[in-house]
Structure 1
Amino acid sequence: MRPYLKFLSALADHNSKEWMDDNKKWYLDSREEFIEDVAVMLKGVEAFEPAMAAFKPKDCIFRINRDVRFSANKNPYKNNFSAYFSAKGKKVEWPGYYVHVQPGASFIGGGLWMPSSDVLKKIRREIDYSGEELKKILASKEVSEVYSGIEGEKLKTSPRDYDADHEFIEFLKLKSFILSKPISDRDIDSGNFINVALDGFQRMKPFQEFLSRAIEDVEDGSGIL
């Protein structure tokens, strides 16, 4: 098993500050190994997202510490390593590509998770104008071979200003806009997940461009993955 998978598996069984303190070197070595994989992915993403050349691997990686203030789960650490590749950085509300490594639960994804109300309005307006384009993107062989459709929480009724019989009402009900694909431990262990991720990311580029066009005048926010 890839060394950082072993670490994450052990962390899931011993998720405490005391255990982490006792295994700090193992954590740092595992994190460094993940950073090395992220560096390879970052270079690959640059090929179709040139703006990513401005970022270093550590700019793309999320902290392992959890914010437990408003969570029933008081475990201090995430049981995963993750990274987000976005042209405007991981702290800005902008579409990007996400990789999540966790034993038995790894996946790649992309888009926008729970965008702010202003951004959501802009995306819905774009769907209202160009929903047929989005439908074609999702139905294209390039996308549909890998992704089964947009994932994310939906409203139970139609959003304000849109009729319930709108042609694209199911898109308009969405509160998140995510494409994702599970990754096996075998692919993680072999390192093949890097190629799988890059292929998956490139395939979703038209979807990312649709979202980016919708919100291109938005500079900051908090709806990142």
Structure 2
Amino acid sequence: MSTIPKETFTFLNKLAKHNNRDWFNDHKAEFKAIETQVKSAYNSLGALMNTHDQIEKIKIFRIYRDVRFSKNKQPYKTHFGGSFARKKPELRGGYYLHIQPNDESFIATGFWEPNKDDLLRIRKEFEMDDTEMRAILKNKTFKSTWGDLVGDELKTAPKGFDKEHSAIDLIRKKQYIFTKKYTDKEVVADGFLEEVNSAFKQIRPYFDYMSDVLTTNLNGESLL
């Protein structure tokens, strides 16, 4: 099983101090060696996840930043990130692994940017019945791993929804995400990928529920 090499954090910390093209080009061989090992770790994690899910695509994001529309003109990211997409259209939701020094690594899962139709469908489901979602959120095993639901939300009710509705805390959300943080020591330890895989596996009740919501209409009829 591949691991995240300790040199990853050393390199990323140096890159944070020397975030320019000249320094990066002088150390590109070092970066490529680390990148190869990190990519191997992401692919190993994907293989583990495929034992309990159907991962359609693994995308490891490039180190180069798109600075065209950003005030931050530093050319390089100081982290590694990669996403794991589930088989569409029947399986919804996604996974993300973020590797960053100084105890800023984390995993995330859920729905980052649901499209307009999906977001409305989710909100309508909670407006009609939030019982199943509440049960998932309150489950002790689930909560001990993932904590609380997070994500951007509106300050008030979306258009067409009652701001006094009992499920307004869920309805006003624009994202439906769970995150879990890791220290540098945890990331480079043996068994880290297995631990991440275990955490991702525990998200399944949530994904199964949301996939059912997003592949049916409000009458429970399949849209596939």
Equivalences for residues 102-113 of structure 1 within 5 A: 102-104=100-102, 105-113=104-112
Question: Aligned-pair distance for 1:45?
Answer: 0.5
- Structure 1 residue identity aligned to 2:122: I
* Equivalent residue, structure 2, for 1:142: 141
* Equivalent residue, structure 1, for 2:68: 69
* 1:6-56 CA-partner distances (Å, limit 9, x unpaired): 11111111112222211111111111111121122111100111x22x54x
* Equivalent residue, structure 1, for 2:125: 126
Equivalences for residues 49-64 of structure 1 within 5 A: 49=53, 51-52=54-55, 55=57, 59-64=58-63
Q: Where is the helix percentage greater, Structure 1 or Structure 2?
A: 1
Equivalent-residue separation in structure 1 for 2:96 and 2:190 (angstroms) = 17
Tell whether 2:159 aligns with 1:160: yes
* Equivalent residue, structure 1, for 2:219: none
SS in 2 for 1:82: strand
Match of 2:40 among 36, 42, 48: 36
Distance 1:70 1:190, change over 3 A: same
Larger radius of gyration: 2
* Contact in 2 for aligned 1:111/1:211 (Cα 8 Å): no
Distance 1:72 1:211, change over 3 A: farther
Equivalent-residue separation in structure 2 for 1:111 and 1:102 (angstroms) = 20
* Equivalent residue, structure 2, for 1:221: none
Distance 1:26 1:115, change over 3 A: same
Equivalent-residue separation in structure 1 for 2:59 and 2:84 (angstroms) = 6
How many residues in Structure 1 have an aligned counterpart in Structure 2?
Answer: 209
Equivalent-residue separation in structure 2 for 1:72 and 1:45 (angstroms) = 37
Question: Aligned-pair distance for 1:139?
Answer: 0.9
Distance 1:2 1:174, change over 3 A: same
Structure 1 residues not aligned, in runs of 5+: 218-225
Question: Aligned-pair distance for 1:94?
Answer: 4.8
* Equivalent residue, structure 2, for 1:17: 21
- Structure 1 residue identity aligned to 2:94: G
* Contact in 2 for aligned 1:183/1:193 (Cα 8 Å): no
Question: Aligned-pair distance for 1:114?
Answer: 2.9
Question: Aligned-pair distance for 1:152?
Answer: 0.9
Distance 1:16 1:130, change over 3 A: farther
Distance 1:72 1:164, change over 3 A: same
**TM-score after normalising by structure 1:** 0.85
Distance 1:82 1:161, change over 3 A: same
Equivalent-residue separation in structure 1 for 2:77 and 2:27 (angstroms) = 15
Deviates further, 206-215 or 4-13? 206-215
Equivalent-residue separation in structure 1 for 2:130 and 2:140 (angstroms) = 18
Question: Aligned-pair distance for 1:88?
Answer: 4.2
* 1:60-110 CA-partner distances (Å, limit 9, x unpaired): 211222222222211112111111111148xxx951111100002000110
Match of 1:96 among 94, 97, 103: 94
Distance 1:129 1:62, change over 3 A: farther
Calculate the aligned-residue CA RMSD, in Å: 2.0
* Contact in 2 for aligned 1:4/1:33 (Cα 8 Å): no
Equivalent-residue separation in structure 1 for 2:68 and 2:74 (angstroms) = 11
**TM-score after normalising by structure 2:** 0.86
Equivalent-residue separation in structure 2 for 1:60 and 1:205 (angstroms) = 21
Amino-acid identity (%): 31
